[in-house]
Structure formats: structure tokens, C-alpha cells
Amino acid sequence: MISIVIPLYNKKKQIANTLQTVFNQTFQNFEIVIVNDGSSDRSVEEVEKFKDSRIRLIHQENAGVSAARNRGIQESQYDLIAFLDADDEWKPDYLQTQYELSKKYPECSVFACNYEFKNTNGEIKPTIIRKLQFSEPDGIFNNYFETASCSHPPLWTSAVMVKKEAILSMGGFPVGVKAGEDLLTWARLANKYSIAFNRNSLAIFNAPENIKNRMPRLDIYKDVVHDELVKLHHKNTKIKGIKKYIARWNEMRVSVFIQNGNRLKAFIPLFRVIKYRGTYKKILYFFILIASPVRFQNYINKIKEKWF
């Protein structure tokens, strides 16, 4: 049996489709723990239209996605927990594949598969996942940070299943983190547990509408994810690829600050990129982007596509 944890906050347009992809699974031995995180729209009414005893709807005041996931973990009845965001999708064989991974690789505590991106026009794009240690359709994935530092995130929340005892040992998802709470959670798990990975793309990340307007407003000084990744590095300096991964995280922060119009604030994470990655051509790109007028940034981004 698998417990499916879905945090729900104002997803009335998407939750019905997401739930339908769960009920379309070839593997049907599951419960669905939906944590309504203080939704103010009609999301709950959409859930209540599904008359299935496997759904458990839990209500709490708005506390954020990490708190909602943690509540779902606590309420889950089974040892395997699959996470699914309320606006994403699973292909029909997703749960069956994850369950088979858990049986094939019992020494692992994290089970993941590849995924796809879908934009608001319905166009599908694949991920780019590099440096996997195996060429077979599935295998044990023990070089997480090396892969994550040069790829799309190899672990993505709606394409991950974990053993309950493993996620509880990490304290669940970090509460109060504005962005990257999931990436930090996977990094902590990867540092302690083995990961089984299937190359097939069986989950779909649905890009939100007006994605630019939903960019997180990051704190210039407080970066919990960076600080915790540095702690992991200091505790175990032999983790392959973690320095590049820290640099990769800070590259993301540089990009967000620039897109939010806070280009001067981008210098702090940019200097961290230099510290953990050294000099390479993308740093020059960031310096040019920060220094250039806004009207030239689209042109610069086109140049970047040719460089990298």
C-alpha cells in the first residue's frame, strides 16, 4: 500500500484533473491524504465531488506547502509515501513503476522516475538528466549531487516516493523556506540514503500561468537552503559534486533576483557561485546580464543559448 500526500492551496482549476490521474493508475492499492492548507477558493468542493473512501481530506490554517506535506506525512497510514502537487499529473503506470522499484531495490529509501514539463499551451518538453551511473532503464543512483549540478532537478516532488521512516528522520520538509524546500529535502535524503531511479518519464510538471509573476521574492541575506547545503558539505567533504550543486543553487538565486528587477541583490549569490565553482563562462554571462539595461536582456539570453 502507498500513501499519496497532496498539499492543497487554491487549486480549484487543477485539483480534479490531478486526482483523476491518480484514479487512472494501474496500481490501485493506495490512500490519498489531501491537506487543505487554508484554501479560500472552491478547491475543497472539487475534491468532495470524488466519492471514494480512499480520500482523506484534512484541514488546517494556511501554513505553507512544507507544513502541509509534513501534516500529510504524519497522517499517512503506510510505509511508502508518494508526493503529488495539486496541479501536476501522473501517467497511468507511475505508481506501479515506483512500487516495483521499491521491491527491486529494497536497500533504497528513495524512489524516483523521470518527468516532463508541460506549458500552458499543452506542449511537452523533456528533462535533461546527465551523468546517471547506469545505462539500464532503472538502477541505483548514488551520485545525486554530480547529476543535479548539471541537469534539471533529478528528483522532483511529484515524481518521488519515499519510505516514511526516512523522511521522518530528516524532520520532513523545512518549514518557513520560501523557495527550494523540496530541493533541500532531496539533498538531505541523498546524503544519507540510496536512491532508486527509473529513466521513464511518468510524471508531468504543469507550468503555472503567469509564471514570471509567481517568482519567489527572495531574502537577500537569509538563504536557508544555501546554509544547509554548506553544512552538508562541511560534515562530509567527500560528497562528490556538492560544491558545484551549491553553486548551481546560487545561480538560480542570481536569475530570480535579476528577473524580479533586483539586479544589485544578485551579486551576493553570484559571489557564492564564484566561491564554490570558480571561474567559468556562465559567470561572465551573469555579470553582463546584471550590468546591461533591461531592454537588452532578451538579446543576451539568446546569446546564452548558443554559449551553454
CATH number for region 2-212: 3.90.550.10
pLDDT confidence of residue 89 = 97
Phi, psi (degrees; rounded to nearest 5) at 248: -60, -45
* pLDDT tens, residue by residue, 142-166: 999 999 999 999 999 999 999 999 9
Mean pLDDT by 10 residues, the chain (308 residues): 97 96 98 97 96 96 96 97 97 98 98 96 93 94 94 96 97 90 96 96 87 55 89 90 94 84 82 82 68 52 42
pLDDT confidence of residue 221 = 61
* pLDDT tens, residue by residue, 58-104: 999 999 999 999 999 999 999 999 999 999 999 999 999 999 999 99
CA distance 286 to 266: 9
pLDDT confidence of residue 143 = 93
pLDDT confidence of residue 254 = 87
DSSP secondary structure string, 53-86? TTEEEEEE----HHHHHHHHHHH--SSEEEE--T
pLDDT confidence of residue 300 = 40
pLDDT confidence of residue 220 = 58
Q: What is the reported pTM?
A: 0.89
Domain-wise residue ranges, the chain: 2-212, 215-307
